[in-house]
Amino acid sequence: MNRTLKLFTVSALAAGIAACGGGSSGSDATGTVSFGITDAPATDLSNVTVAFTEIRLKPTDGDWISFPLEGFETVNMLDLQGGVSEPLITDQEVPAGEYSQIRLIVDTENSFVKRSDTGDTEFSLAVPSGEQSGLKLQGDFIVAADTSTSFTIDFDVRKAVVDPQGEALANFMLRPALRLVNNLEVGAIAGSVDESTVIQVQCADNDPAYDGMVYVYQGSDATVGDLGSENEPLLTAPVAFDEEASEYNYTAAFLVEGEYTVSYTCDPDDNEVADEELEFLDTRNVTVTAGSEATANFGTE
């Protein structure tokens, strides 16, 4: 498999969605599918390697279809951010029609986590039923006859990786946090954060290497909240200093076309603690159009 990282100029991310396409006119009709994987980032982890060994697709009226995967024991999921995706399978022929489930099988022996404050120390990563039934993604999608369709699976590390305090099974545990999108139906949001906003007291009180996060919520004028709350974001995008541009930038990729609310915060957010009172410093409404990148800057008019 060609495992070269691909940078998508369009992107996709949404919960339980249906990927569109034409229907099948006969039981022997086939189409081809491609699946890639991307990541919404964590803040205090330096490496999250999840060794995927197999992807399984479930036709609504048929048996599971399986494709072996190789090489993912060397892929740091944190490298797959800001519109970057790694191919899982490419142009594989499958029966045309409706599909209802996807499963990613994981080799837990070769999966691990590294924290930024512990150097190269590896921590084990447990995946309940990861090697049997795998990580499950529910949601209908369609493979159109005689066409090629590409999807992206968002593997949300920031929501998925938890530290099970007191658990003897593993240092960290992986819970399902997957979303699927059709690559033809998506766009992105990108922009900058004014330097005076980044370096103010709220950010300085945290890790000096942490420049904050942009939280993305579905719908205009959405109620903002932290991870795990009733108003948790669809995804978060890290803010980082771009030396070439001499500014703080972010990219929120893989967003289905529609209306969004975006907000910037310097506060750290524990994904295991709901209803933390984060201070959001700036909030904007943004319209995402498929195939294009919308702009939302913070701290500037």
Q: In the structure, what pLDDT confidence band is assigned to residue 272 with cuts at 50, 70 and 90? A: low
Residue 82 CA, distance from chain mean position = 9
pLDDT at 166 over 60: no
The CATH number of the domain holding residue 232 is 2.60.40
**Do 18 and 138 share a structural domain?**
yes
Query: Would you put residue 158 in left (φ > 0), alpha (ψ -120 to 50) or beta?
Result: alpha
pLDDT at 216 over 90: yes
How far apart are alpha carbons 222 and 205 in whole angstroms?
28
Buried b / exposed e along 75-113 (16+ C-beta atoms within 10 A): bebbebbbbbbbbbbeebebbbbbbebbbbbbbbeebbb
**Do 193 and 172 share a structural domain?**
no
Q: What is the pLDDT of residues 233-254, one digit of tens each?
A: 998 888 888 888 889 999 999 9
Domain boundary pick from 129, 152, 185: 185
Query: Which is more confidently placed, 27 or 85?
Result: 85
Closest CA to 248 of 190, 289, 202: 190
pTM given for the model:
0.77
pLDDT at 217 over 90: yes
Which ranges in the chain belong to alpha helices (H)?
Answer: 157-160, 195-198, 201-204
Structural domain includes residue 161: yes
Work out how many domains the chain is built from and give that number: 2
Domain that holds residue 150: 6-185
Domain boundary pick from 185, 220, 250: 185
Average pLDDT over residues 255-275: 84
**Do 207 and 78 share a structural domain?**
no
| pLDDT score of 244 | 87
- Which residue spans within 43-185 are E strands per DSSP? 45-59, 65-68, 84-95, 97-115, 123-126, 135-143, 148-156, 161-162, 172-174, 178-182
Structural domain includes residue 300: no
Q: What is the pLDDT of residues 122-140, one digit of tens each?
A: 888 888 765 667 788 877 8
**Do 277 and 216 share a structural domain?**
yes
Residue linked to tokens 């024991």: 73
pLDDT at 59 over 80: yes
**Do 156 and 39 share a structural domain?**
yes
